[in-house]
Every structure is written in C-alpha cells, then in structure tokens.
Amino acid sequence: MRAVKLFSFCALALCAVPLTAQTRQAAGLSTPRSGLPTLQAQDSPLMEEALASRFLFFALTPEQAAGTPESLGFRIDLNGQPFVEETLDLRQVPDAQSAAFEILATRPDLRDRLYELGRKGSNRLTVQVVVDGAVVREFASFGELLRYNRGIKRSLRPAAAPSEVRDLTGTMTPAASPDPLAPLFQKGLHPEQWCWEQCSADYDACPCDYGDCSRCDAQWQGCLSSCPTVCYEPKSITSTNKTDIIGITYGYSECLESLWENDFQSGEWYQSTTYQFKHYTLRRTESCNGTVTYQETNVSYSSRTCQSRVGGSCSYPIFRASNAC
C-alpha cells in the first residue's frame, strides 16, 4: 500500500537584488565596491529623480501632527470615485511628528497603477491626507503630489508604520477559489482529486510480480500523467529581499586628503552625500487565472552619509577622506 498526499507549495527565493547596470548608467552611477553607488564628477541632484521618482511620501508638518497622532490615512479617488484607501498606525512609531511616511509602501502594484493612470490626461486622481480622521491636506492632481515629493525627498527622514490597504476597485487582488479542489479548467499543478483517487485504487489492486512492483509503479505514473489537472490557490508565491535608494541629499563640500595620498599638501574636493534606503521583502503571488500581484512586507528604512568626489584639486587638506562613497 502506498500513501500518496497532494500538497501545494511556495517557492521562496530570498536574495538581495542590487541596482541594475541600466539603472546605474541612466543615473550616472558606476559599479560600487562596497555596496554603495560611487558618484562621478558629472553627478547632479537630477540623479535623485532617476533613482527615487517612483516612491511617494508624505511628511507631517508640526501643525498637522499636533499632539500625538495615532493614525495617518490616504484617500485616493479616480475621476470622483473611490480608488484606494490606506491607513497607517502611528501609535508605535517614535517621533512620528517629524517623519515622512511612504504611500502604498506595501502595495507596489497599486502604486504603479497610479502612475499608469496619472499619465493619461483624461484621468483625474486626487489624494486626501487624513490624520486621526480629519483631512489635513488635499492634492488636486497626481502631478501636484509628484511636485510635492520632489521637494521633500531632498530632506527625507522616512519611517515605517503598520499599514492597511483597501483596494476599492476590486480589480487588483484576484479572489481565491472557495474550494481548493474545484477544477478551474486551466492547466494547474496537480491531478484532479477524483482521478488521483482512481489511480491510487488501481495501484493498490495491482499485483506485484514476485516482489517486483515496477510494472505497477509504471502503470500508476502513467495513470496520473493522463489525469486532468487542477490548480490550487495561490499557484505560486516567491519572496525576494530588496534594497532601493529612495533619496539622495547633497551637503557641504570640503578639501580632503585622498585615500591614496599621505602628504596633506594636496587634496581633492569632496561633497557630503546622504543616501536614504528602503529595505523590504517583495512578495509575488501568481493565481491560477494568470493574475500576478505584488506586496511589500518587512519594510524598514535606513540612511548612510559618505563623502563623494566632485573633482578638482585643493591645497593643504586637514582631514582624510576616510568615509568615501
């Protein structure tokens, strides 16, 4: 007697994904030696938009965050109809009054959908910002939200908060089958239950030849391969750890001794540069009908300040460029 058990599985692929070569080339970045991009002499603040334009943030002002706010919400309407609502729980976020919060941080599919809709001039996207149930700001268009982000990303202090997202269109998240064994009439991952049971019953009734069951095994495998297939929701789930640059802030410039020099007579000009990073796990879910959705989990933010070469020689530096990008 052979016990056979059907199961569905998740494929986990946990790996860090760096910036692509195309992204680096478009933004003026060379390949880093220590995991950080190396700035070149021709770099400019425009690089920030090349790297971080797809992320959307909102930073509370002191007036909007008066007291201790418990929730921050975003209501997004499309052509006057509710589209997406998001609520962030600020109760466990330290210094929420001075932080910036990412809009749809866990739902890149919905964020990308906003960009697609915003590019069409016939669509009107409006965004209301709600603090503890009260509207504190409204963006009359998606372009207004983008212009606002262009300004705040130069002095960004992002923070992560638990998020609840409601897709009010109902088109982004496919409904799971109420019965995981119900046939979906599509190519799936497993033989249908009734066919598997019949093949297993035939196998149990098959007599082995003096202890040699190879004939029965081959018969059983052939029976299963001829069965119609059924898909179990979700069809597949993969997770990938990722880190993205979401902002770059340029600070002061100073004359520093190069790493390969040691005379402190001649140096080069360096500029203080702060990188803001977003760390998250990207979860990809494929349904049996072919629909693919993305969700970001384990979201956190960090920053690093280093000194980037901006070109040009200088005389008598005082300090060494020990924290070069």
Q: Are 114 and 77 in contact (CB under 8 A)?
A: no
Give the residue from 201, 227, 253 where a domain finishes.
Answer: 227
In a domain, 313, yes or no: yes
Contact 20, 119 (CB under 8 A): no
- In this structure, of 142-151, 171-180, 226-235, 258-267, the range with the lowest mean pLDDT score is 171-180
Do 62 and 156 belong together in one domain? yes
Average confidence score pLDDT of the chain: 74
30 and 165 inside one domain: yes
State what percent of residues in the chain have pLDDT above 70: 75
Q: Give yes or no for residue 104 having a pLDDT over 90.
A: yes
Same domain membership, residue 220 and residue 145: no
For the stretch 120-138, pLDDT in tens is 778 899 999 999 999 999 9
Q: Is the pLDDT of residue 6 over 50?
A: no
Confirm whether 68 is domain-assigned.
yes
52 assigned to some structural domain: yes
Other CB atoms within a 10 A radius of the CB of residue 13 amount to 9
pLDDT, position 188 = 46
The model scores a pTM over 0.75: no
State residue 207's pLDDT score. Answer: 85
- In this predicted model, what pLDDT tens digit does every residue of 200-216 receive, in sequence order? 888 888 887 766 778 88
Nearest alpha-carbon partner for 283 in 250, 318, 236: 236
Residue 211 sits in the same domain as residue 309: no
Top pLDDT among 24 and 248 is at: 248
Q: Tell me, yes or no, whether 214 and 313 share the same domain.
A: no
pLDDT at residue 260, as a whole number:
64
Q: Which amino acid is at 24?
A: R
pLDDT tens digits, 269-284? 888 888 889 999 988 8
* Model pLDDT, residue 137: 95
The reply to whether 143 and 125 lie within a common domain is yes
Same domain, 50 and 129: yes
pLDDT of residue 101: 94
Q: Please spell the DSSP secondary structure of 10-64, one letter per residue.
A: -------B---HHHHHHHT-BPPSSSSPBP-TT--THHHHHHHTT--EEE--TTT
Check whether residue 86 and residue 213 sit in a common domain.
no
Closest CA to 267 of 276, 258, 259, 275: 258
Cβ proximity of 234 and 242 under 8 Å? no
| 53 in the same domain as 38 | yes
Into how many domains does the chain fold?
2
The boundaries of the domain holding residue 53 are: 21-175+234-320
Domain match, 41 and 129 both: yes
pLDDT per residue as tens digits for the range 46-82 = 334 434 468 899 998 888 888 889 999 999 999 999 9
SS3 state at 262 = coil
What pLDDT does residue 211 have?
64
Domain check: are 222 and 254 in the same one?
A: no
Pair (204, 301) in one structural domain: no
